[in-house]
Amino acid sequence: MDTNYLIPLLSDMAIFVTVVEQGNFSKAANKLGVTPSAVSRQISRLEDALGIKLLQRTTRQVGLTESGILTFDYCKQMVEFADKAVNASRSGTSTVSGLLRVSAPRSLANKVLRPLFVEFLKRYPDIQLHLKVTDRILDPIHDGVDFLIHINDTPIEALVNVKIGHVEQVLCASPDFIKKHSLPTHPNDLKYLACICLGENKADNRWRFSNKNQQTTIQVTGSYLLNHSDMRKDAIEQGFGVGPLPDYLAQQSVETGKLIPLLEDWQLQGNYQGDICLQYVQSKYMPNKNRVFIDFMKQKLLIIQPDS
């Protein structure tokens, strides 16, 4: 498209994003400091230029048409990149401030990252941290996050990846459970013990183990299935069976004797383990707030996990 034709539309696209995010013309106009009629004119001008209807208008709110949904995603990206451009222009200053949006998985965020985020905000009080806690891996552009933190041995290729730690699954049981049953010395022994599976799919009761050049798969059974790591730890401590836990969650209970690690010569394969990845979109000009966050997380997590 001709640049001379495109440039006048950019402000209309930005106003279109504001209308959608605010929910109606009046709120958008109030935020922009203009009249609702001025906002309406610019939306109409954008629709005429694009040759499509973007919004379904009612007296109190607006809704996106099918074409408007796709257009909104691209316009929102344009606004976000414009914001990044402004931040990049300021990155050479000594000021460390602004909004950081970070996503992280629930258990890791609660047990490992939470105190680090508090310390980070105390160190950089002019930074605002918006944390999105979810086990779903978000898209940095579409979901509007600056950093993805996730546990995965295969990081997203299109993003810059910084390894800040490592997580392994530890197979555990309570001392009382071990007293009532024989201590397993080989994965095959698990066939005769109650095991606590995640229950997320039909294959979750097939546990894969590796030991140097050996591999084996064991089908286990048990009366308690749950995919919440804290609840699973409680169930294991209560003697309901043998179960896997991320090492950062099992560590304290192992040290206090509430849990006993099993089959330490074998590694349980599966999800929710691997490298702790800090990923973000490649940018030649990175705001200082982003740089200090990367440096802080690398320093703190690699201190916690020096062997990673």
In the Cβ-directed half-sphere of 214, how many Cα atoms lie within 13 Å?
A: 10
- The highest-level CATH class for domain 169-268 is alpha beta
Q: Are 259 and 152 in contact (CB under 8 A)?
A: no
Contacts 24+ apart (CB under 8 A), 143-147: 143/103, 144/76, 144/80, 144/101, 145/101, 145/102, 145/103, 146/100, 146/101, 146/102, 146/280, 146/290, 147/100, 147/101, 147/102, 147/103, 147/278, 147/279, 147/280, 147/290, 147/293, 147/294
Below-50 pLDDT ranges, the chain: 92-93, 303-308
Give me the chain's average pLDDT, please: 88
Domain boundaries in the chain?
A: 3-89, 98-165+273-304, 169-268
pLDDT at 202: 82
The dotted CATH code for 3-89 is: 1.10.10.10
Number of other residues whose CB lies within 10 A of the CB of residue 146: 21
Residue-wise pLDDT for 124-165, tens only, equals: 999 999 999 998 888 888 888 999 999 988 889 889 999 998
CB-neighbour burial class of residue 143 (10 A; exposed 0-12, middle 13-18, buried 19+): middle
Q: Encode pLDDT of 30-54 as tens digits.
A: 888 888 888 888 999 899 988 999 9
CATH number attached to the domain at 98-165+273-304: 3.40.190.10
Spatial separation of the C-alpha atoms in residues 177 and 126, rounded to whole Å:
50
Q: Do the first three CATH levels of 3-89 and 169-268 match, i.e. the same topology?
A: no
Rounded to 5 degrees, φ, ψ at 210 are -135, 145
> In this predicted structure, what is the pLDDT of residue 305?
45
Which residues face 274 on adjacent strands? 167
Give the model's pLDDT for residue 306: 37
